[in-house]
Amino acid sequence: MEEVKQRLNGLLKKHGYGFQYSVLKLAHELVQKKQSSWIFEVSEFPVEVQGERTKVDFILRLKNTRIYIVAECKRADPKFSNWCFVKAPYVRRNQKTEEFFVDRVRHEKLFLSCRVSQDKLSVCIQGKAFHVGFVVKTKTKGEGGKPERDAIEQAATQVCSGVNGIINLGGKRFGLVSSGAINDPGAIFIPVIFTTAKLYSCQSDLSLANLENGNLDILNEDLTEEKFIYYQYHLSPGIKHSVQTEQTGQRFSEILAYEYIRTIPIVTAKGIKDFLCSFGGVLLEELK
């Protein structure tokens, strides 16, 4: 019995189920206390994207809206539990400010269209939007198994696959994302990663690296521990949904923005309350 218990504890820890449901419990408690309007919908929701099947850890819906958080919970191995994010000085031509890229799906002329939302959502991410992420090892002993050097990429791929799988499902069931009424705002699907990792932002300018050897000297004051950040992730065509996109672009910068960049809030355990309590209000303003 003791051996079974130990092995079961190890599996639950490895797969992160305890963390996933503790996040859900906190989200539920915040709603009960009327501090948050993010209502639990489902957990372990199955989806499929381009023939690949996966499951969404859980989905939250903003009360009285069709705005959804599609969540991926990532319990980090203690040895690989520092996630560091850096700004990229060059992303796309004529970019003047950071924008919040999110899929908003509506029923348009018997097909679904997808567009990128900006405006008020973009205001909340200024100064907290980053483009490059690294897993930095700690001095803590690891838990064994496969090293999690690509943990950020894996989590981002997983959560975007979840969003795109749900959008594909919405294409078959219009009522999931739209009432079909004129001026219906449709549904917004936001990929969010909740993690036990510590988040650090780096304000160093990558373009100041030494041109001869590529080295960049990061100062202590350039690093800041964060409760949550916004990751401007460039998703792979291999995990894209099949819904027709409303915006079309002829330039590479437009194609990148409309088709592939998606903003992923990444939230630490310490930042869950602040994120859920504040982010819903910004989204409601966006829909006005």
Q: DSSP string spanning 214-251?
A: ------GGGEEEESEEEEEEE--GGG---SEES---SS
Burial of 156 per CB tally in 10 Å (0-12, 13-18, 19+):
buried
**3-state helix vs strand vs coil in the chain, percent to 5:** 35, 30, 35
Return the structure tokens found at 253.
Answer: 């910068």
Q: What is the mean pLDDT of the chain?
A: 85
Number of folded domains that form the chain: 1
Which pLDDT score, from 0 to 100, does residue 141 have?
Answer: 75
pLDDT tier, 180 (very low <50, low <70, confident <90, very high otherwise): low
180-189, 204-213, 266-275, range with greatest mean pLDDT: 266-275
Q: What is the pLDDT of residues 129-153, one digit of tens each?
A: 999 999 998 887 766 666 677 899 9
Query: Which pTM was predicted?
Result: 0.90
Which pLDDT score, from 0 to 100, does residue 8 have?
Answer: 72
CA neighbor of 19 nearest in space, from 35, 43, 36: 43
For residue 79, what is the enclosing H or E element?
none
In this structure, what is the dihedral angle of CA atoms 32, 27, 235, 105, given to the nearest 10 degrees? -10
Alpha-carbon radius of gyration of the chain: 19
The answer on pLDDT for 179 being more than 70 is no
- Do 107 and 80 touch, CB atoms closer than 8 A? no
**109: domain range?**
2-287
Which pLDDT score, from 0 to 100, does residue 214 have?
Answer: 86
